[in-house]
């Protein structure tokens, strides 16, 4: 087996472990529901809604990923936001309310951050949650990243792999002065823009303006305008592009190589996914005065620096991680045992070993032994969560005027009233499949419906959600395993 083949097979095994399973979606829904109950019990948050965003909405989270939640205050149909002082007050009150409830731990209030955040940890799988107030910007960014999956499904897989690799190498922790997950996602976008042929266009070719700036007026109208522009431009790019047929291993190796000298480049240039190129900092007036170790511009909120937490000392560590990994990936006689310590953390590595043990065990009457790890399959279609559909999908132009309250998928033929039967990925897919249209990516996103109070009279009003029933508490398993 040559180096690329070994890397490819290892990456596919890593993906089978870190991709979320159906129960991971269900767990996050339980957390959202429990937090919603607490919010609804607070007089100061009467009428507020609890809305997920971040990697859950963009479908870029791993099995152990954090959960981002925005508490949206009731402003009717118009885009508005509380002042920073009120956000701090409300989050402080929420912290006190959560302390009185079972199931929440490690509560940490960060009032003076750029966006005030309450960090909590749920009893469900000890998943960490970041709670903010009126984070509409985070929600629209999440939707935009989800739409990018429509261009090429390898984007999601690369983001998952890069985040796992970065965590394993200690460079995915903004508290310690390294990258946050959003910055790493932007690096993957930039890589897809600058490989040959390009997989993604410059983001200005998808939306030519500052997205956050255009979030004004009636919220449904603002979101619809943004979605219409993105929808038509994505369709135009897909119809006229030259397809990149690189395998996942080739994309990953070239990604590591591209940023192996990031330390030296960062002193003079910044990464701009809006234009899809490195840009000299001194010639970019909106980035001056330069006070950061590295500049990765937020394309949806220019000229903000998505990597502002990275320190100069840790940038050296980041560059060393890229270079060390590059040298390892191009070395001879690669084996999975030499790859795993660099590509994944200890937890993921242990699951891969368990998975291989299960695969090599005897086939017991058509069923795996009951002791098998639960991560032996990667589920592409999660549980339908009918009572919390989130308006996060890219709409088709013909559908936008029919339903202002909900963003739907761009192709009606690919949409079903409920999620299709779960499809299980049991072996690595050939590289050529990555260039096909990616219906599984659009199917994997659960549609969370904004649970508006019944007293809300606007166009977003919904009925009270019904109780979710699934297998009456039994452990869910793929149909093929039953």
Per-residue pLDDT of the chain (482 residues; tens, 9 = 90+): 677 899 999 999 999 999 999 999 999 999 999 999 999 999 999 899 999 999 999 999 999 899 999 999 987 677 777 788 999 999 999 999 999 988 898 999 999 888 899 999 998 888 999 999 999 999 999 999 999 988 999 999 999 999 999 999 999 999 999 999 999 999 999 999 999 999 999 999 999 999 988 988 888 899 999 999 999 999 999 998 999 999 999 999 999 999 999 999 998 999 999 999 999 998 888 888 778 999 999 999 999 999 999 999 999 999 999 999 999 998 888 899 999 999 999 999 988 888 777 766 644 544 433 333 333 333 343 433 333 333 333 333 334 334 333 333 333 333 333 333 333 333 444 444 444 343 333 343 444 434 333 333 333 233 333 333 333 333 333 333 33
Measured CA distances, 262 to 284, 317, 379 (Å): 19, 11, 35
Q: Domain spans of the chain?
A: 3-323+375-481
Lookup result for tokens 């970041």: 130
CATH class of 3-323+375-481: mainly alpha
The pLDDT tens digits of the residues spanning 307-319 come to 999 999 999 999 9
Task: Look at residues 324, 317, 256 and name the one whose alpha carbon lies nearest to residue 11.
Answer: 256
Give DSSP secondary structure letters for 449-480: BP---TT--STT--PPPPPP-SGGGPPP--GG
CA–CA dist 3, 327 (Å, integer): 12
The answer to whether the CB of 426 falls within 8 A of the CB of 16 is no
> In the chain, what is the straight-line distance between the N-terminal and C-terminal CA atoms, in Å?
35
- Three-state DSSP at 23 gives helix
For residues 186 and 163, what is the distance between their CA atoms, to the nearest angstrom?
A: 11
Model pTM above 0.85: no
**Using the 8-state DSSP alphabet, how is residue 45 labeled?**
G
Instruction: Say if residues 388 and 50 touch (Cβ distance below 8 Å).
Output: no
pLDDT 10s digits, 148-186: 988 999 999 999 999 999 999 999 999 999 999 999 999
Q: Which residue in 258, 275, 256, 259 sits closest to 315, CA to CA? A: 259
* Per-residue CA distances from 280 to 258, 267, 288, 349, 377 (Å): 17, 9, 11, 40, 45
CA-only gyration radius of the chain, Å: 22
Yes or no: say if 393 and 435 are a contact pair by the CB < 8 Å rule: no
Backbone angles phi, psi at 82, to 5 degrees: -70, 155
HSE-CB at 177 with a 13 A cutoff on CA atoms is: 10
Token readout for 124 is 């469900």
The whole-number pLDDT of residue 360 equals 62
In 3-state terms, what secondary structure has residue 362? coil
Q: Which residues are CB-neighbours of 8 under 8 A, at least 6 positions away?
A: 247, 248, 249, 428, 431
* CA angle centred on 180, ends 174 and 185, rounded to 5°: 165
Provide φ and ψ at 54, rounded to 5°. 75, -145
pLDDT at 357: 72
Rounded CA gap, 307 and 314, in Å?
Answer: 12
């Amino acid at each position: 087996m040559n180096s690329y083949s070994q890397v490819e097979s290892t990456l596919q095994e890593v993906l089978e472990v870190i991709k979320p399973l159906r129960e991971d979606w269900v767990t996050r829904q339980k957390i959202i529901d429990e937090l919603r109950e607490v919010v609804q019990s607070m007089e100061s948050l009467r009428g507020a809604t609890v809305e997920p965003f971040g990697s859950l909405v963009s479908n870029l989270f791993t099995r152990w990923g954090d959960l981002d939640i925005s508490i949206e205050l009731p402003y009717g149909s118009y885009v508005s936001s509380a002042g920073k002082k009120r956000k701090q007050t409300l989050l402080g009150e929420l912290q006190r309310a959560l302390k009185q409830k079972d199931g929440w731990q490690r509560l940490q209030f960060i009032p003076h951050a750029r966006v005030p955040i309450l960090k909590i940890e749920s009893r469900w799988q000890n998943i960490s949650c970041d709670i903010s107030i009126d984070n509409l910007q985070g929600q629209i960014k999440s939707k935009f990243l989800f739409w990018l999956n429509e261009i090429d499904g390898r984007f999601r897989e690369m983001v998952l792999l890069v985040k796992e690799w970065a965590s394993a190498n200690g460079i995915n922790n903004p508290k310690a002065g390294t990258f946050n997950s959003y910055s790493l996602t932007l690096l993957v976008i930039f890589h897809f823009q600058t490989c040959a042929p390009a997989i993604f266009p410059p983001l200005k070719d998808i939306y030519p303006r500052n997205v956050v700036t255009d979030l004004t007026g009636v919220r449904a109208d603002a979101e619809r305008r943004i979605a219409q522009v993105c929808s038509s431009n994505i369709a135009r790019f897909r119809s006229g592009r030259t397809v990149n047929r690189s395998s996942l291993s080739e994309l990953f190796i070239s990604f590591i190589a591209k940023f192996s000298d990031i330390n030296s480049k960062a002193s003079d240039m910044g990464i701009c996914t809006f234009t899809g190129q490195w840009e000299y900092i001194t010639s970019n007036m909106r980035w001056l005065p330069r006070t950061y170790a590295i500049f990765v511009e937020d394309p949806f909120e220019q000229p903000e620096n998505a990597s502002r937490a990275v320190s100069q000392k840790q940038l050296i560590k980041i560059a060393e991680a890229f270079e060390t990994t590059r040298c390892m990936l191009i070395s001879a006689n690669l084996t999975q045992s030499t790859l795993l310590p660099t590509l994944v953390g200890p937890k993921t590595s242990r699951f891969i070993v368990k998975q291989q043990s299960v695969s090599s065990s005897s086939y017991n009457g058509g069923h795996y032994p009951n002791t098998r790890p639960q991560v032996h399959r990667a589920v592409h279609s999660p549980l339908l969560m009918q009572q919390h559909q989130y308006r996060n999908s890219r709409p088709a132009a013909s559908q936008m005027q029919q339903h202002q309250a909900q963003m739907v998928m761009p192709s009606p033929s690919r949409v079903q009233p409920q999620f299709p039967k779960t499809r299980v990925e049991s072996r690595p897919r050939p590289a050529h499949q990555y260039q096909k249209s990616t219906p599984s990516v659009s199917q994997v996103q659960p549609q969370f419906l904004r649970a508006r109070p019944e007293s809300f009279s606007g166009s977003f009003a919904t009925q009270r959600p019904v109780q979710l029933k699934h297998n009456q508490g039994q452990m869910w398993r793929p149909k093929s395993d039953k």
